[in-house]
Amino acid sequence: MSEFVTVETNTDGVATIRLDRPPVNALSPEVWEQLGAAARRCAEDDAVGAVVVTGGPKVFAAGADIREMSQVPFTQQFKDAGRLQEAVAALARLPKVTVAAIAGYALGGGCEVALACDFRVAADSAKLGQPEIQLGLIPGAGGTQRLARLVGVQQAKRLVYSGDMVTAEEACEIGLVDRVVEAEELQEAADAEAGRYAHGPYALRMAKRAIDEGVEQDLDSALRLESSLFAATFATEDAQIGMRSFLEHGPGQARFTGR
């Protein structure tokens, strides 16, 4: 069991990665390392069909531990920057559907963790932002890149250049979060969202790869990637189950194996 990041899987195949470093889940190098390990564990666990990432009911993650970070020399920061990005990349590359359940503050690295997920559900009291510029820094775990790809270049510039926080409602308006719910409903809503995909076909992995990798490529290259992954889905057991179920029972009735 990790000190600051835990993983629990429910009977529906939804794993919960929980950040747990009171009082505000400040993201130290140890937390980053444990988060990456948790993501890799979920990727390898066949019992996990989808993943919820949360910091609990009060705060998602209020960013880096500034006191600790201010005392680290440049050479160590240079080394840690790669570890930081790799931890978030492990979450972003997780080949299963991921949902961030955001309560309270998701700032700096906390916002970047949420950006690495497929979907973001926020409590109505949540606040999100990339305040690094106010420290004389810039985001270092994907915030300048994933944020721009998600909400567009102009909105990303506004958030990164100003360091301003946005409310859950504004985050939803600009596409930073997908859904806003009352705080007491957050975990249930995130679990339900993840549960929609926990027993989906193996093709979900290929769809995620096609979208995430394709958006980084020119259109012709991305279409070739899509074509190859489309063809590969026919080799899965789930494709045979899905097509047979459609012919015998109509759409939406298949029970997939994840293989």
DSSP 136-171: T----SSHHHHHHHHH-HHHHHHHHHH--EEEHHHH
Residue 188's nearest CA partner among 124, 111, 101 is: 101
Model confidence band, residue 80 (pLDDT cutoffs 50, 70, 90) = low
Identify the band that residue 81 occupies on the pLDDT scale cut at 50, 70 and 90. low
Single-letter residue type at 76: Q
The 10s digit of each residue's pLDDT in 40-60 is: 999 999 999 999 999 999 999
d(CA 3, CA 26): 13
Other CB atoms within a 10 A radius of the CB of residue 68 amount to: 12
Per-residue pLDDT band for 216 (boundaries 50, 70, 90) equals very high
Catalytic residue among 44, 112, 185, 188: 112
Dihedral of CA 60/135/4/35: which sign? positive
CB neighbour class for 36 (10 Å; exposed up to 12, middle 13-18, buried from 19): buried
Tens-digit pLDDT profile for residues 164-187? 999 999 999 999 999 999 999 999
Measured distance CA(204)–CA(199) in Å, rounded: 10
226 catalytic residue (yes or no): no
Q: Average the pLDDT over 2-20 and give the result.
A: 95
pLDDT for 233 beyond 60: yes
pLDDT at 77 over 90: no
Check: CB of residue 63 under 8 Å from CB of residue 77.
Answer: no
| Cβ–Cβ under 8 Å, residues 142 and 150 | no
- Confidence tier at 66 by pLDDT (50, 70, 90): confident
- Report CA dihedral (97, 42, 210, 221) to the nearest 10 degrees: 150
Q: Which helix (H) or strand (E) holds 53?
A: strand 50-54
- Answer yes or no: are the C-beta atoms of 53 and 113 closer than 8 Å: yes
- pLDDT for 1 beyond 60: no
> What are 174's two structure tokens?
């600009």
Residue of 3, 44, 132, 170 marked catalytic:
132
Please choose, from the candidates 43, 36, 34, 37, the residue with its C-alpha nearest in 3D space to the C-alpha of residue 15: 43
| Peptide bond just before 23 cis, omega within 30 deg | yes
Is residue 112 annotated as a catalytic residue, yes or no? yes
Q: What is the pLDDT of residue 79?
A: 66
Domains and CATH numbers, the chain: 5-195 (3.90.226.10), 203-249 (1.10.12.10)
Highest mean pLDDT among 9-13, 15-19, 61-65, 72-76: 15-19
Q: Are 190 and 166 in contact (CB under 8 A)?
A: no
